[in-house]
């Protein structure tokens, strides 16, 4: 039943038999049964951000920001499919027992495709990072995997939170996010548009805040003009939870609950997560809404249920309980963890070699923490493998492993009756008796997360700065002063100020929240069974002093496209254990090669951040919608590794172009030792467009720089990697 017209026809026929009260009841997130029409109860609220959540045991993937670091659309689609399979397995098992409770349906309120514009935002780790193009590509792949391509929809995805939403968490119920038309259409809307137009996402969830004065769950501009008007969205719209109540309690755009319910419904909000729609009948009686408007929302919701096959027999009814945490799904989760790990620094200490180590110290509050494995919106795993456990299992009896918690995650002591920093002497003893120290620092969902769900009440889940908690910084300095080689594993969902570790640690790895069994894969990477290959989906700044105010939604000075300074670690950056270079690029029949030392001939400085390989411009006969680029990449080492080939584009003519260029293509590639291969990438035509001050996409300029490499073509990436992109000029784009 992937035919929406047929599903809508069935929904209309069913809704036509309902009373007004019955129609209104179906707009609740916990829609009750209507026995006389054969309609069972259905709860619309389910979560699947990185695995089926809040409904018992399910396969646990790295938090979304970690999955984004994989830069792997094929893998994202696989993850979506696993979540759909396990969601169906649970649904089949539960309805057999007539259990239709919350978190047990097939409408998953994922993915979160908001732009992670500021590292202080506590919910940023739910997203795919700071780049609209990357977010759209990964989000679309996830939606396609989740919804499937069968006769019926396997599960329904939901793009959230529409739109212009990324903190501050403490203000979200009354905040007005003001964005220019350019920023709106260039940064905040593209991922949503892609999910609607290309991935056919079934649902969209509104945000808590206002956008340019209108509450997002009652915005004519966002919901009617853009979503359903410009983009032709035909699915259903759901409010964020209790967001409609904010209309009259915090945004003050209405006076009563009846007015708020009417405003949301008339704007096109079909499902109320909350209880404000309990006032719809009174709103109808008072002439604020019509029965036809209530019925139209009910029809859209029943259409989704028909598309899912909830009233029919489907091919998914046979998905059994054995699919939960099956070997295949656990293998996919392990692969995702491996691809997500980002090696930020390596002075040659990694990979570790067992034969060179007699004693290994594992220190830090996240070393043996289950909370640091899973992030937020997580499910339950039947087994957790922390970093400590993963290392212990891997080295077995070959290496003595010493462990110390070192300090509390953020409090000044572990034992309440003890003195301040009561574990630091133990940590120093571990360091002194070890050949190498693995320092496991970071945060967890109690320090960065959602307002109302977090223990970080003083900042409502957001960070006030980019520093690790004071007790962790003190621990790190004390351990490093012992003089043993230290490897930092940073377990956070966001960019941190890691300057001290960049200067003093032998290696630094960003491991995010790596999934319930992530410790096993981390150990395999540390000891070289797997080469790290993740890339940063966000910029790591030096400090918040470099950034605009948190409440400022203008993009100037934010993210790699508009940041004016030098980052600590750039977007797109990440090392491997291999030595991969781009040898040559072919574009429009012109071959560009570099010499054996990876030096580029005829180098010409064009800006502070980009250098051109060839002064001669390459004409592009624009005969198709996409520009195809072939790149030859070579692994000069003996170590097999994966890498992420990336294309960036810079418009040289337009005042509307992002000053630092933007990502416009990427591909994950596996290379054996000494292997070379040609990889074909495509740059979408939209990459050559700019968004003007009226929010319109247009061709403005005919001279472009394209850069192909393993990261950005900026000076900081060149310094960190010692490698340069193949960058060349392109001209001749015709409208």
CA angle 189, 114, 491 (to 5 degrees): 155
Q: What pLDDT is stored for residue 615 in this prediction?
A: 44
Whole-prediction pTM: 0.96
Same domain, 40 and 172: yes
Same domain, 509 and 406: yes
Question: Residue 587's domain is classified under what CATH number?
Answer: 2.60.40.10
Same domain, 227 and 87: yes
Half-sphere exposure of 697 (CA within 13 A, CB side): 11
Same domain, 593 and 497: no
Q: Which of 362, 377, 375 is nearest to 438 (CA)?
A: 362
How many angstroms separate the first and last alpha carbons of the chain?
40
Whether residue 163 contacts residue 189, with contact meaning beta carbons closer than 8 Å, is answered with yes
Looking at 538, 571, 606, the residue that finishes a domain is 538
- Structurally, the chain folds into a number of domains equal to 3
551 in a structural domain: no
574 in a structural domain: no
Whether residue 326 contacts residue 56, with contact meaning beta carbons closer than 8 Å, is answered with no
Integer Cα distance of 602 and 607 in angstroms: 15
563 in a structural domain: no
Same domain, 252 and 159: yes
477 in a structural domain: yes
Whether residue 135 contacts residue 115, with contact meaning beta carbons closer than 8 Å, is answered with yes
Beta bridge partners of 176: 210
Beta strands in 620-675 (DSSP E): 626-635, 641-651, 662-671
Looking at 481, 516, 538, the residue that finishes a domain is 538
Same domain, 534 and 608: no
636 in a structural domain: yes
Whether residue 344 contacts residue 508, with contact meaning beta carbons closer than 8 Å, is answered with yes
Q: What pLDDT is stored for residue 607 in this prediction?
A: 47
Integer Cα distance of 473 and 569 in angstroms: 20
Element holding 162 (H helix, E strand): strand 158-162
Question: Residue 437's domain is classified under what CATH number?
Answer: 3.40.50.1700
Integer Cα distance of 369 and 278 in angstroms: 42
Element holding 539 (H helix, E strand): none
Same domain, 282 and 135: yes
Looking at 473, 507, 538, the residue that finishes a domain is 538
Same domain, 596 and 662: yes
Q: What pLDDT is stored for residue 618 in this prediction?
A: 63
Residue 581: Cβ within 10 Å count = 23
Q: What pLDDT is stored for residue 624 in this prediction?
A: 52
Same domain, 203 and 308: yes
Q: Which of 436, 456, 369 is nearest to 408 (CA)?
A: 369
260 in a structural domain: yes
Whether residue 531 contacts residue 122, with contact meaning beta carbons closer than 8 Å, is answered with no
Residues of the chain with pLDDT under 70: 1, 595-625, 732-735
Same domain, 276 and 371: no
Question: Residue 144's domain is classified under what CATH number?
Answer: 3.20.20.300
Same domain, 366 and 410: yes
Same domain, 313 and 345: no
Reported residue count of the chain is 735
| Catalytic (active-site) positions | 240
In this structure, the strands spanning 236-238 and 203-206 are parallel
Half-sphere exposure of 671 (CA within 13 A, CB side): 32
486 in a structural domain: yes
246 in a structural domain: yes
In this structure, the strands spanning 359-363 and 436-442 are parallel
Q: Count H helices, E strands: the chain? A: 20, 27
Q: Which domain holds residue 697?
A: 580-731
């Amino acid at each position: 039943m992937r035919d929406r017209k047929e599903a809508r026809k069935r929904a209309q026929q069913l809704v036509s038999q309902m009373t007004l009260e019955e129609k209104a009841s179906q707009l609740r997130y916990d829609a009750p049964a209507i026995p006389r029409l054969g309609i069972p109860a259905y709860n619309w609220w389910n979560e699947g951000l990185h695995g089926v959540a809040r409904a018992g045991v399910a396969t646990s993937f790295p938090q979304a920001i970690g999955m984004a670091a994989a830069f792997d659309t094929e893998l994202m689609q696989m993850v979506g499919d696993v979540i759909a399979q396990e969601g169906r397995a649970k649904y089949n098992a539960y309805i057999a027992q007539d259990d239709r409770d919350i978190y047990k349906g097939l409408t998953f309120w994922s993915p979160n495709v908001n732009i992670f514009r500021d590292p202080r935002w506590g919910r940023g780790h739910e997203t795919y990072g700071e780049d609209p193009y990357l977010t759209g590509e990964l989000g679309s792949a996830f939606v396609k995997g989740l919804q499937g391509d069968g006769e019926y929809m396997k599960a329904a995805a939901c793009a959230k939170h529409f739109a212009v939403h990324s903190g501050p968490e403490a203000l979200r119920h009354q905040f007005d996010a003001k964005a220019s038309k350019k920023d709106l259409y260039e940064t905040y809307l593209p991922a949503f548009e892609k999910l609607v137009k290309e991935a056919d996402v079934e649902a969209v969830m509104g945000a808590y805040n206002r956008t340019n004065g209108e509450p997002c769950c009652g915005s004519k501009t966002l919901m009617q003009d853009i979503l359903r008007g410009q983009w032709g969205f035909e699915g259903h719209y759901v409010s964020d939870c209790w967001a409609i109540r904010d209309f009259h309690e915090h945004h003050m755009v209405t006076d009563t609950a009846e007015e708020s319910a009417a405003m949301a419904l008339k704007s096109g909000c079909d499902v109320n997560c909350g209880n404000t729609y309990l006032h719809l009948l009174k709103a109808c009686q008072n002439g604020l809404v019509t029965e036809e408007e209530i019925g139209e929302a009910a029809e859209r919701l029943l259409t989704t249920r028909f598309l899912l096959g909830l009233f029919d027999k489907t091919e998914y009814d046979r998905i059994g309980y054995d699919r939960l945490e099956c070997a295949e799904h656990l293998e996919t989760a392990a692969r995702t963890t491996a691809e997500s790990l980002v090696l930020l620094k390596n002075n040659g200490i990694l990979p570790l070699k067992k034969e060179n180590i007699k004693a290994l110290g594992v220190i830090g509050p996240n070393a043996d923490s289950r909370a640091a494995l899973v992030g937020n919106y997580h499910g339950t795993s039947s087994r957790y493998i922390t970093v400590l456990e993963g290392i212990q299992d891997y080295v077995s009896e070959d290496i003595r492993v010493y462990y110390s918690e070192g300090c509390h995650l953020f409090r000044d002591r572990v034992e309440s009756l003890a003195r301040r920093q009561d574990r630091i002497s133990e940590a120093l003893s571990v360091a002194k008796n070890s050949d190498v120290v693995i320092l496991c620092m970071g945060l967890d969902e109690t320090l960065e997360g959602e307002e109302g769900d977090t223990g970080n009440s003083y900042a409502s889940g957001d960070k006030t700065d980019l520093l690790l908690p004071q007790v962790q910084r003190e621990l790190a300095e004390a351990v490093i002063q012992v003089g043993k080689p230290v490897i930092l594993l940073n377990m956070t969902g966001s960019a941190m100020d890691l300057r001290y570790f960049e200067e003093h640690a032998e290696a630094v790895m960003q491991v995010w929240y790596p999934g319930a069994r992530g410790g096993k894969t981390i150990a395999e990477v540390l000891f070289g069974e797997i080469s790290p290959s993740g890339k940063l989906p966000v910029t790591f700044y030096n400090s918040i002093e470099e950034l605009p105010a948190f409440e400022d939604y203008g993009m100037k000075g934010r993210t790699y496209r508009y940041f004016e300074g030098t980052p600590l670690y750039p977007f797109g950056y990440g090392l491997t254990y291999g030595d991969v270079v781009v040898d040559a690029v072919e574009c429009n029949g012109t071959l560009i090669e570099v010499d054996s030392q990876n030096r580029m001939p005829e180098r010409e400085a064009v800006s502070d951040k980009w250098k051109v390989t060839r002064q001669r411009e390459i004409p592009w006969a624009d005969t198709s919608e996409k520009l195809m680029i072939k790149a030859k990449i070579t692994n000069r080492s003996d170590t097999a590794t994966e890498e992420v080939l990336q294309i960036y584009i810079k418009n040289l003519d337009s005042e509307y172009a992002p000053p630092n260029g933007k990502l416009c293509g990427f591909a994950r590639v596996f290379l054996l030792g000494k292997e070379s291969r040609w990889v074909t990438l495509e740059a979408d035509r939209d990459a050559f467009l700019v968004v003007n001050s009226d929010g319109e996409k247009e061709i403005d300029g005919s001279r472009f720089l394209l850069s192909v490499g393993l990261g950005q073509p900026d000076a900081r990436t060149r310094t960190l990697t010692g490698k340069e992109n193949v960058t060349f000029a392109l001209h001749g784009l015709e409208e």
